[in-house]
Amino acid sequence: MAFLRSVSKLRSRLGQQSSLRDSARWLQTQTTSSDLDLYSQLKELIPEQQERLKKLKAEHGKVQLGNITVDMVIGGMRGMTGLLWETSLLDPDEGIRFRGLSIPECQKVLPAAKPGGEPLPEGLLWLLLTGKVPSKEQVDALSSELRSRAKVPDYVFKAIDALPVGAHPMTQFATGVMALQVKSEFSKAYDKGIPKSKYWEPTYEDSLSLIAQVPVVASYVYRRIYKDGKIIPVDDSLDYGANFAHLLGFDDHKMQELMRLYVTIHSDHEGGNVSAHTGHLVASALSDPYLSFAAALNGLAGPLHGLANQEVLLWIKSVVDECGENITTEQLKDYIWKTLNSGKVVPGFGHGVLRKTDPRYTCQREFALKHMPDDPLFQLVSKLYDVVPPILTELGKVKNPWPNVDAHSGVLLNHFGLTEARYFTVLFGVSRSIGIGSQLIWDRALGLPLERPKSVTMESLESYCKKAAS
Ligand code: NMX
Ligand code: MLT
């Protein structure tokens, strides 16, 4: 297995490894480190984190984290804390922090292809897995490792080819990911009786290969549906984000930068979102990373979750079709009310946790202001920022009227030539392999158990509440 090879090749250790006691403390730049091997760094970190969890459980296992209300049980568990997820944490007002770092902080400290450029997603992967900001050398080593794992067996493409070309891109993508499962190292190791203490090692192997291979599978889906069906080979000179753009058929430098930013910001959004939670739940049954991630993708394919990025561009284009590009505020308001009155949601607005504008929206807006300020659809997106929130607020029931990540991504892609909205959720899916794959390694390293919450019936709730009131 590649991880065993890399361990024997790269035995060198960091002289001093800071302990992982809290995220702020363990974030550090390691530009002077000679250890370029992610696996050996993890191997060193894992025992500390296992001890940390053991201590937390022993000393504070009975501390209450809040009350569970009937509203929470029937309201999609909103606001109920119930999951351990190490790689990121979402604040309702501030938005996402990856191992304690906000998006602007990541843009500042994570290595870029060129100074001042967008962060390289490999750097974020390193950060999510280790809690440490990698040096450019570490990121380059990881880029090269991912490229070396990017070979996808032929039967994966054949499995996709068995579907009609008109099948939704997410269906084709999830089918390809399921076919990748045939090579799962975890599944093989489990069949051979690997001890629980070593589960994380083949999980690491599978997760890194999954992350390396999903751009190849995803771009095949794109080229099969929208282009000539020919596979563009991985370019050994390119990083993960730029290679993904290249595999899709885009070699423009701005598009490469966009893909780096896109993949970085869509990678992880703590554990409770539908895709991450699904991946974590399925993996808790010791399903391997491919099975778990394919399940996650099927959640991402829902219109209230990842498919919203498709819905946003289609909706924006329908606005332009009906009202033209120079739409007035009054026309826009009417169109929004028409959408709402037909029983639909305004895609790209609202969130299950966030209560302010999503910082992923803000950084995409900054990208647009820098690279495409005159794009008419970008200007429409800017106008929607002023017009939609007051209307959603007027509805009186929407908890967050502000835009989320999906409100912006489509017009950026569209500007650089990736115009096929039905494909957009696949891009989100590729990005999410980084967050879900990273956490799965920690799930195994920490020995997290089978997830199995208790459910109740209406009758049992009614009788519980009657007793509680008497
Ligand atoms: N347009 C119209 N109605 C909305 C919207 C919206 N954008 N957002 C929330 N509501 C409604 C919601 O449908 C619910 O109505 P009802 O009680 O009649 O069922 C009510 O407002 C209360 O919902 P909230 O508690 O504010 O939101 P919830 O946590 O249930 O759902 C979303 C969150 C994201 C599912 C919801 O805001 C939504 O449907 N947004 C549009 C779809 C979207 O952009 N999804 C992408 C989310 C980000 N992602 O990538 O996953
Ligand atoms: C996500 O990125 O997963 C979405 O914003 C949805 C969520 O966090 O619930």
Average pLDDT over residues 139-154: 98
**What confidence tens digit (pLDDT) does each residue in 60-97 have?**
999 999 999 999 999 999 999 999 999 999 999 999 99
**What confidence tens digit (pLDDT) does each residue in 189-217 have?**
999 999 999 999 999 999 999 999 999 99
Q: Is the CB of 404 under 6 A from ligand 2?
A: yes
Round the average pLDDT of the chain to a whole number and report it. Answer: 93
Q: Is the CB of 393 under 6 A from ligand 1?
A: no
For residue 336, the SS3 value is helix
Ligand 2, pocket-test mutation among 94, 269, 425, most atoms within 8 A of CB? 269
**What confidence tens digit (pLDDT) does each residue in 160-186 have?**
999 999 999 999 999 999 999 999 999
pLDDT of residue 34: 47
User: Which tokens is 55 given?
Assistant: 């201590």
Q: Which of 7-11, 98-102, 241-245 has the lowest mean pLDDT?
A: 7-11
First to last CA, the chain: 62
Question: For residue 304, which ligand has an atom nearest its CA?
Answer: 1
Nearest CA to ligand 2 atom 8: 273
Atom number in ligand 2 closest to CA 90: 8
Nearest CA to ligand 1 atom 8: 350
Q: Is the CB of 269 under 6 A from ligand 2?
A: yes
Nearest CA to ligand 2 atom 2: 269
| CA distances for 61 relative to 53, 157, 270, 444, angstroms | 10, 48, 22, 20
- HSE value, Cβ hemisphere, 13 Å, CA-based, for 306: 27
pLDDT of residue 29: 45
Q: Smallest Cα–Cα separation from 365: which of 349, 385, 345?
A: 385
**What confidence tens digit (pLDDT) does each residue in 268-323 have?**
999 999 999 999 999 999 999 999 999 999 999 999 999 999 999 999 999 999 99
The radius of gyration computed from the CA coordinates of the chain, to the nearest angstrom, equals: 23
Ligand 1, pocket-test mutation among 297, 345, 388, 425, most atoms within 8 A of CB? 345
pLDDT of residue 408: 98
Distance between CA atoms of 296 and 292, rounded to whole angstroms? 6
Nearest CA to ligand 2 atom 3: 273
pLDDT of residue 35: 82
Provide the annotated active-site residues: 305, 351, 406
**What confidence tens digit (pLDDT) does each residue in 6-26 have?**
433 333 322 233 333 344 333
Question: For residue 96, which ligand has an atom nearest its CA?
Answer: 2
